[in-house]
């Protein structure tokens, strides 16, 4: 750049001469100057001076333009060089973007599927419930709410009968909490949770707690006279009691009391049997005491082999139990696993397997462990001990998918999953997952075969996989026809139109994508495609607006990456850095530009082109963004602060709160675990452990952690956690008073304004519930004074309870004006205005966030009030189709009930109860609908009986027929 400026400077060196001609005809000019009024050309001195001034002005104007042009060119060049550095792989292209084939079961009739699985969990025998709950887990896997999956997983574990199922489900529950990421944790820890307890998992039956009550056997006293035979091994002789040895197995009984010659001998030679004298002594000891605990482990291993040789079931079980108790870590598990498999010691194999599973995902990277799972031979060995199951390989494959979907281990585990699949849903899932993995590996023929097998088993969504592989193999029209027939044969879903759009062009593709968004606004691909298409048309502002639509209600790494990409192209480097930092919070290992540049590298490139902040600046920025309800901006600031201070547990905790607001539960839990690991004090660590427990559904354990923390040191977070967990239930007057006390105690402890604002807001809410409106208003006003903007909503509620609807409406308007994410504010404001204004606000709320269910319920209720029942049902169905929600399903069930459609009422109630089996209102509605159906069936039976009987009461028969 400097050399260019120097050249420009050299080129303009002569333009400073007043008279540019003086260099060539200076003599003539000089003579003219001396000549008074004459000279060459007859120009006077005044005119010459005027011309010289004009030349000077003209030349300087040229110089100015040249310098301006030069600077402009330099700036353009510099900008271009910067763009090349920040966008080394160009801009995104519509040709390079496609939706992922989802790695879960998807259903064309999801509500019916939920209802069916609920009926089966209620109606199946106790010993079958666990597997039905596992099926429910697979159904919930595709939903955004991971809590539903974990709840079903716990139910499956609670109803598990056999040891194998228990150890797999307990390990899976532990994996879902990512216990391995907590510093100091051990694979065999359970922190008091019975469903995750490794000891409880090693006991068959429904009551594992009773399994630990050990009963001491009475030791019999044995004299020399009792020994009536002996085994001889080499030079050694071991005296035994014939009856005791014979009672160990049928084989020994036949040997010692049967027709064999040994039955008449006092000394039996065992020298040629390959059995050591130590083992015979151990056998004799066990025959009297029925225990092996006092023996050395190597001797018990030999005794186990002898037990198998002579079919001594009780002895084998005792050895199995003892050896399994020796498995305490991966090293001991690896040492004993082969013995367990060789001797078919089921409990020993279970103990080893348990250690491997509870060490996931670490075990996936250990070849010594994975050799027991991956090959067909390994699966057969596990099967011989009762430890090969669909459940085992389902768990292993789910952990492997998160680690490396394209790995060879992933393929081998899924091949074993296919081999163990028996039920229809299991085959659908196994083949579909295998198809997805082959597709990602670009092995399209194998992928197509797997998808076809899944579709044949009944998984309709796998037809999308078949179409995708056919398209990749050059059969675009065949792919289009497949999706077209799917749309014709079934009730269309958003994903069907999304898939068909891949095989269209131009306006047809855009039309399909619009239809996909209409049916399912949660699909991110249509927004991404439309945004990139707008970019290709040089409509960058419109492109960013399009991608903003989905980021406003569904924050995902792919959409944040795309917006950051657009921002770089728009030279909005601060916006790009904001999204990139938020993206790295969701996925610390993210790769930008289709996986070609690490996200951290791009952060470093962008940092030099934005204003640098100190840690104090960051706190100010965080307050501003927090108060404007800009969660993504707040997340970016916290990421910036953590880059300067990575060990700050408080910041990690703030990060987890923001991620929960954005419904990024997995990332939130990771931040919470990091906060716990970074804690420098016991009381702080206990609080974060309490939040982890609370967020994973362990409310009582969370309360215990909060109380333990308070006993060590009174702190804001400990009191706040305890208050929050207690408030998560129906509070009576006494409980509400206690929650108020806890929040007041929290506010007396040191904390920052961000958290104090939240505590004041929560305190105000409890005061409103207790009808202490003045105290509530004070709390909300104090919260607003420290920029807790969400307190506007609480204050509006106070006004509403006081029948000041206009003030409530105005308060919510203030929140709408301040908040960056204000869909909830529009929704809440709708409660404080007339019907038409409410409709407008709710339309805006749905437009900003189609996942919010209240607007659909309100509009449906209005339609029911206007006696437009079918339209009301359609309004609810529209939302249920892409978000099966408890409240939506319950309301639709109530609508069906009011219309007399008992079958539909039952179906929706069952689907809702599948989401929450304890929902009181739905249980009541369900019970009433079942009673009515039973009465109808009885009426039909009575009617049929009366038809067969002589017609002595004609009018009664007519009424019955009319009722039918």
- DSSP per-residue string spanning 510-579: HHHHHHHHHH-TT-HHHHHHHHHHHHHTT-HHHHHHHHHHHHTT---HHHHHHHHHHHHHTT-HHHHHHH
Domain-wise residue ranges, the chain: 229-327, 853-941
Mean pLDDT of 288-303: 91
Higher per-residue pLDDT: 721 or 56? 721
Correct CATH for 853-941 of 3.40.50.1220, 1.10.1060.10, 1.25.40.10, 3.20.20.30:
1.25.40.10
Closest residue by Cα to residue 868 from 112, 876, 929: 876
Whole-model pTM? 0.84
Show Cβ contacts of residue 779 under 8 Å, excluding neighbours closer than 6 positions.
Answer: 760, 761, 763, 764, 767, 791, 794
* C-alpha 442 chain-centroid distance: 26
Q: What is the DSSP string of 375-410?
A: SHHHHHHHHHTT---HHHHHHHHHHHHHH-TTSHHH
Q: For tokens 């997952």, what's the residue?
A: 433
Q: What is the pLDDT of residue 587?
A: 94
Q: Which helix (H) or strand (E) holds 597?
A: strand 597-598
Per-residue pLDDT tens for 139-188?
A: 999 898 888 999 999 999 999 999 999 999 999 999 988 876 777 777 77
502 pLDDT higher than 80 = yes
Strands 229-233 and 267-269: parallel
Q: Is 35 helix (H, G, I), strand (E, B) or coil?
A: coil
Among 35-44, 483-492, 714-723, which is the least confidently predicted range?
Answer: 35-44
DSSP character at residue 588: T
CB 504 within 8 A of CB 471: no
Checking if the pLDDT of 758 tops 50, the result is yes
Please name the residue that has the structure tokens 């990690």.
652
Q: Quote the Cα angle for 736-741-743, to 5°.
A: 95
Residue 47 has pLDDT above 70, yes or no: no
- Are the beta carbons of 212 and 198 closer than 8 angstroms? no
What's the confidence (pLDDT) of residue 262?
72
Rounded to the nearest 10 degrees, what angle do helices 682-695 and 665-678 cross at?
160
Confidence of residue 696 (pLDDT cuts 50, 70, 90): confident
d(CA 792, CA 681): 36
Is the predicted pLDDT of residue 50 greater than 80, yes or no? no
The set of long-range contacts for 259-262, using a CB threshold of 8 Å and a minimum separation of 24, is: none
CA nearest to 432, candidates 827, 106, 849:
106
**Residue 58: closest CA among 8, 13, 15:** 15
Give 310-339 as a 3 state SS string: CCCHHHHHHHHHHHHHCCCCHHHHHHHHHH
Q: Tell me: the pLDDT tens digits for 648-666?
A: 899 999 999 999 999 999 9
pLDDT classification of 332: cutoffs 50, 70, 90: very high
Per-residue pLDDT band for 19 (boundaries 50, 70, 90) equals very low
Q: How far apart are CA 887 and CA 889, in angstroms?
A: 5
pLDDT, tens digit, for every residue of 356-387? 999 999 999 999 999 999 999 999 999 999 99
- pLDDT, mean of residues 726-742: 89
Are 586 and 560 in contact, with CB atoms under 8 Å apart? yes
CATH architecture of 229-327: 2-Layer Sandwich (3.30)
**Per-residue pLDDT band at 192 (split at 50, 70, 90):** low
Residue 20 has pLDDT above 60, yes or no: no
Average pLDDT, the chain: 87
pLDDT of residue 70: 58
Using the predicted structure, report yes or no on whether residue 48 has a pLDDT greater than 70.
Answer: no
Instruction: Determine the average pLDDT of the residues in 765-784.
Output: 96
Residue 41: what pLDDT?
38
Place 641 in a pLDDT band, splitting at 50, 70 and 90: very high
In whole angstroms, how far apart are CA 25 and each of 21, 43, 643, 892?
6, 16, 71, 101
- Residue 919: pLDDT above 80? yes
CA distances from 297 to 218, 385, 422, 752 (A): 24, 21, 39, 58
Query: Which SS3 state, helix, strand or coil, does residue 887 take?
Result: helix
For strands 236-240 and 229-233, give the pairing. antiparallel
N residues, the chain: 964
């Amino acid at each position: 750049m400097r050399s260019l400026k120097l050249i420009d400077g050299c080129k303009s060196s002569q333009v400073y001469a007043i008279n540019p001609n003086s260099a060539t005809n200076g003599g003539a000019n000089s003579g003219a100057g001396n000549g008074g009024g004459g000279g060459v050309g007859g120009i006077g001195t005044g005119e010459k001076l005027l011309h010289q001034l004009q030349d000077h002005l003209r030349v300087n104007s040229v110089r100015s333009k040249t310098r301006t042009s030069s600077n402009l060119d330099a700036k353009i060049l510099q900008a271009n060089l910067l763009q090349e550095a920040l966008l080394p792989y160009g801009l995104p292209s519509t040709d390079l973007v496609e939706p992922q084939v989802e790695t879960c079961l998807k259903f064309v009739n999801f509500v019916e599927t939920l209802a069916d699985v609920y009926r089966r969990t209620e109606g199946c025998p106790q010993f079958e419930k666990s597997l039905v709950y596992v099926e429910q887990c697979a159904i919930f896997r595709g939903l955004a709410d991971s809590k539903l999956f974990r709840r079903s997983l716990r139910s499956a574990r609670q109803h598990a009968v056999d040891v194998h199922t228990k150890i797999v489900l307990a390990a899976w529950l532990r994996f879902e909490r990512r216990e391995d990421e907590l510093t100091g944790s051990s694979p065999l820890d359970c922190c008091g949770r019975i469903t995750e307890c490794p000891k409880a998992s090693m006991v068959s039956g429904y009551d594992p707690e009773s399994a630990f009550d050990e009963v001491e056997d009475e030791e019999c006293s044995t004299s020399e006279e009792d020994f009536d035979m002996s085994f001889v091994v080499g030079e050694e002789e071991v005296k035994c009691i014939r009856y005791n040895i014979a009672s160990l197995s049928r084989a020994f009984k036949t040997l010692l009391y049967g027709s064999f010659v040994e039955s008449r001998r006092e000394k039996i030679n065992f020298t040629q049997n390959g059995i050591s004298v130590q083992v015979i002594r151990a056998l004799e000891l066990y025959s009297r005491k029925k225990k092996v605990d006092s023996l050395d482990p190597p001797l018990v291993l030999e005794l186990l082999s002898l037990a198998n040789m002579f079919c001594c079931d009780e002895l084998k079980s005792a050895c199995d139990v003892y050896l399994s108790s020796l498995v305490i870590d991966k090293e001991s598990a690896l040492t004993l696993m082969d013995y367990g498999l060789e001797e078919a010691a089921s409990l020993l194999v279970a103990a080893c397997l348990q250690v491997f599973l509870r060490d996931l995902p670490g075990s996936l990277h250990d070849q010594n462990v994975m050799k027991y799972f991956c090959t067909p031979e390994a699966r057969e060995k596990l099967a011989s001990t009762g430890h090969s199951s669909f459940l085992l390989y389902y768990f292993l494959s789910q952990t492997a998918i998160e680690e490396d979907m394209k790995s060879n281990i992933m393929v081998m585990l899924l091949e074993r999953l296919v081999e163990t699949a028996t039920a229809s849903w299991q085959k659908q899932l196994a083949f579909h997952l295998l198809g997805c993995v082959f597709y990602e590996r670009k092995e399209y023929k194998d992928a197509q075969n797997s998808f076809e097998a899944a579709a044949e088993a009944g998984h309709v969504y796998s037809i999308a996989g078949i179409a995708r592989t056919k398209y990749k193999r050059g059969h675009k029209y065949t792919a289009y026809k497949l999706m077209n027939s799917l749309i014709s044969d079934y009730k269309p879903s958003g994903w069907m139109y999304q898939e068909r759009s891949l095989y269209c062009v131009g306006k047809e593709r855009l039309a399909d994508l619009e239809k996909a968004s209409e049916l399912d606004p949660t699909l991110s691909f249509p927004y991404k495609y439309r945004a990139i298409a707008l970019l290709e048309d040089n409509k960058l502002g419109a492109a960013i607006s399009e991608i903003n639509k989905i980021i406003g209600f569904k924050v995902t790494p792919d959409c944040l990456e795309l917006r950051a990409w657009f921002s770089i192209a728009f030279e909005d480097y601060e916006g790009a850095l904001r999204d990139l930092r938020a993206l790295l919070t969701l996925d610390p290992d993210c790769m930008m530009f289709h996986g070609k540049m690490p996200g951290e590298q791009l952060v470093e490139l962008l940092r030099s082109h934005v204003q640098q902040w100190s840690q104090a600046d960051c706190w100010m920025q965080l307050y501003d963004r927090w108060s404007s309800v800009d969660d993504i901006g707040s997340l970016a600031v916290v990421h910036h602060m953590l880059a300067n201070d990575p060990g700050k547990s408080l910041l990690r905790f703030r990060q987890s709160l923001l991620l929960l607001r954005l419904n990024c539960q997995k990332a939130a839990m990771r931040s919470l675990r990091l906060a716990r690991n970074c804690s420098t004090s016991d009381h702080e660590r206990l609080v974060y452990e309490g939040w982890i427990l609370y967020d994973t559904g362990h409310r009582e354990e969370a309360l215990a952690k909060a109380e333990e923390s308070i006993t060590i040191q009174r702190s804001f977070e400990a009191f706040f956690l305890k208050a929050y967990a207690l408030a998560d239930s129906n509070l009576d007057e006494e409980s509400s008073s206690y929650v108020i006390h806890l929040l007041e105690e929290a506010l007396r402890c040191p904390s920052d304004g961000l958290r104090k604002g939240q505590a004041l807001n929560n305190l105000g809410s409890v005061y409103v519930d207790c009808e202490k409106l003045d105290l509530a208003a004070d709390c909300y006003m104090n919260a607003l004074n420290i920029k807790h903007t969400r307190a506007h909503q609480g204050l509006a509620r106070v006004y509403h309870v006081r029948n000041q609807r206009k003030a409530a409406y105005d308060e919510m308007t203030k929140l709408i004006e301040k908040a960056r994410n204000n869909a909830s504010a529009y929704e809440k404001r709708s409660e404080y205005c007339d019907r038409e204004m409410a409709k407008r606000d709710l339309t805006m709320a749905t437009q900003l966030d189609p996942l919010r269910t209240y607007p659909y319920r309100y509009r449906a209720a209005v339609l029911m009030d206007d006696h437009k029942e079918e339209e009301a049902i359609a309004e609810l169905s529209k939302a249920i189709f892409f978000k099966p929600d408890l409240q939506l399903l319950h309301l639709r069930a109530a609508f069906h009930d009011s219309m007399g459609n008992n079958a539909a009422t039952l179906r929706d109630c069952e689907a809702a109860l599948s989401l929450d089996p304890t929902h009181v209102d739905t249980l009541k509605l369900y019970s009433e609908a079942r009673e009515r159906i039973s009465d109808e069936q009885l009426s039909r039976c009575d009617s049929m009986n009366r038809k067969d009987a002589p017609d002595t009461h004609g009018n009664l028969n007519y009424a019955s027929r009319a009722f039918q």
